[in-house]
Amino acid sequence: MKHYKPKEFAEMLHVSVKTLQRWDNEGVLKAYRNPKVRKLKKKLKREQRSLSRKYENLKKRGEKPATKRGANIDKNIFRVQKLHARLANIRLEYVKFVANEVVRTKPRYVVIENLNVKGMMKNRHLARSIAEQCFYTFQTWLIHKCKKYGMEVRQVSRFYPSSKMCSRCGHMKKDLQLSDRIYVCDGCGHTMDRDLHAATSLLRATDYIVLT
Ligand SMILES: [Zn+2]
């Protein structure tokens, strides 16, 4: 069985490797390593290649794919669709699992950022990991669950500088890069894992709307 490398996996979850290791130590990671995904993706690639080859051959013979499609092409299309559906199901299960884990810890409130998912899709460094997380689905599921159990969900504006503003002294770090995985404050020297730091500042935000 093939497992993800920590780096790949962290990328998929859009957290730092350090955060991942911390989760691992705390026993939070359970269903996270899904070796099926990699296999399915490989299979999907193979099927897609074979399908496009079939189309190419049709074109070479000068036939129109829309009208002269053989049974083999139809079967191939079906296989591709099935693989897409299975991958989507695995992702959905995963998203639900993470949201459920959050709710299970019975927090007093949950703070989420009003993320500009569409804007992030344009940033190609973020696109894949965001898409794979199905962030939007996650948010929806989380709100649904919190409503059910009477937990407050706070939404903070995406312009709130959760990553840049020091959660200890309020100093603004202007030159923070996406590649800086560790946050070091220039004002007070406060050092923390980037994602953990952003989460801490979000927790303390006073300007929010309640979604539940
Ligand atoms: Zn500071």
Beta-bridge mates of residue 155: 112, 209
Ligand 1 geometric centre to CA of 10 (Å): 26
> What is residue 105's three-state secondary structure?
coil
CB of 111 closer than 8 Å to CB of 208: yes
The reply to whether 191 falls in a domain is yes
CA distance 80 to 45: 9
Ligand 1 geometric centre to CA of 115 (Å): 24
Question: pLDDT tens, 34-55?
Answer: 667 778 889 999 999 999 999 9
The reply to whether 115 falls in a domain is yes
The reply to whether 64 falls in a domain is no
Ligand 1 geometric centre to CA of 24 (Å): 28
The reply to whether 85 falls in a domain is no
Residue 31 has pLDDT above 50, yes or no: no
The reply to whether 32 falls in a domain is no
CA distance 6 to 18: 9
The reply to whether 28 falls in a domain is no
CA distance 96 to 87: 14
CA distance 84 to 9: 20
According to DSSP, the β-strands at 109-113 and 191-193 are unpaired
Which of residues 108 and 93 earns the better pLDDT score? 108
pLDDT band per the 50, 70, 90 thresholds, residue 12: low
Q: Which domain holds residue 211?
A: 107-212
Q: How many domains does the chain have?
A: 1
The reply to whether 49 falls in a domain is no
Q: What are phi and psi of 110, to 5 degrees?
A: -120, 135
Q: What is the ipTM of this complex?
A: 0.96
Ligand 1 geometric centre to CA of 107 (Å): 26
**Among 15-29, 43-57, 84-98, 172-186, which is the least confidently predicted range?**
15-29
The reply to whether 151 falls in a domain is yes
